[in-house]
Amino acid sequence: MILEARTVFAVALGGAVGSLLRWLVELVLPASTGTVPWGTLLVNVLGSVLLAGAVVVLDSGVGSVVHRSFLGTGVLGGFTTFSTYAVQVAVLGDVAPATALAYLVATPLLCVAVAWLAAAWVRRAWGLP
């Protein structure tokens, strides 16, 4: 695969935008010791909704590789965070094991469920198969 400069730039710019948006969410909803990290949960669930919708639309022929790279890999890749989720589960497990377990299970279930619902809704709204 040959990397085109505009695609690399799109991913880098999108990643910067997504990372800044995630940082802003963490400022508004900071994680507290012993509680569910609501900011991380929010960005992962919202990111799943947005990525599912974007993939359905982009797969229908709207946009290009650059658009997909900017939005999917860049913005939403920078916005969502599996690594923070994993570390938060581990840290939370030391102080609140039941909360950690609930967070561990709820996050992927919510993310997959909302992604499926968003994709179905976008397909219906856009009249796609």
Q: Residues 7-20: pLDDT tens digits? A: 999 999 999 999 99
| Whether pLDDT at 1 is above 70 | no
Please report which helix (H) or strand (E) contains residue 49, including its range: helix 38-59
Say what the pTM is. Answer: 0.94
Alpha-carbon distance of 126 to 129, in angstroms, equals: 9
* Domain spans of the chain, in order of start: 5-123
At how many degrees (to 10) do helices 38-59 and 82-95 cross?
150
Q: Residues 50-96: pLDDT tens digits? A: 999 999 999 999 989 999 999 999 999 999 999 999 999 999 999 99
Q: Residues 26-59: pLDDT tens digits? A: 999 999 999 999 999 999 999 999 999 999 999 9
The predicted structure's pLDDT at residue 3: 79
